[in-house]
Amino acid sequence: MFACSAKGIIKQAMQGAASVFKANAERLIRLDSRYDSGVGYALLGCFYAVAPWPYGNLDEAARQLDKALAVARSQRNAYYVAVVAYKRGDYARAVEFFKFAQSARPGSASEQDFSDFMRRESARALRMAESELESAQRRCADADTDGSRRKSRRRA
């Protein structure tokens, strides 16, 4: 993944690195879907979350990350579920899983390597997701109020 980001994801996708990355994640799932707390699903979910067209697909990213979470409710899996939920505009789910990721333990030794990062980023992103959720709730409340006013005017 680092090689792709360092060389440019679009260039790599066009040269086949995206296909190789995806195939390797799928192979890992076939060999042992529970390995490293479901890392194959996590990798595949992250791939779909950040890949450019024609690979990128946030719905598929969410499906794969939900599978990772079903294997292990680990810090990494919760963090990635939250990131994708935020990108999809599902701020309530993002809040739920950023909170969980702040207190969850790493599910494996490999997660321990970036546990502090996920904890810090979860705290920062939680504030953003809560703000977006509050804004969305205000917009819904405003729309409900406006709709009620229009109905009252029509009746009058």
- Whether 52 has a pLDDT exceeding 60, the answer reads yes
Q: What percent of the chain has pLDDT over 90?
A: 69
**pLDDT tens per residue, range 119-129:** 999 999 999 99
Q: What is the pLDDT of residue 10?
A: 61
Handedness of CA 101, 85, 72, 40 (dihedral sign): negative
Is 70 exceeded by the pLDDT of residue 5? no
Does residue 84 contact residue 58 with C-beta atoms inside 8 Å?
A: yes
Q: pLDDT tens, 13-50? A: 556 788 888 999 999 999 999 999 999 999 999 999 99
* pLDDT at residue number 1: 46
Q: What is the mean pLDDT of the chain?
A: 88
pLDDT at 135 over 50: yes
Question: What are the Cα distances from residue 41, in Å, to 49, 68, 120?
Answer: 12, 5, 23
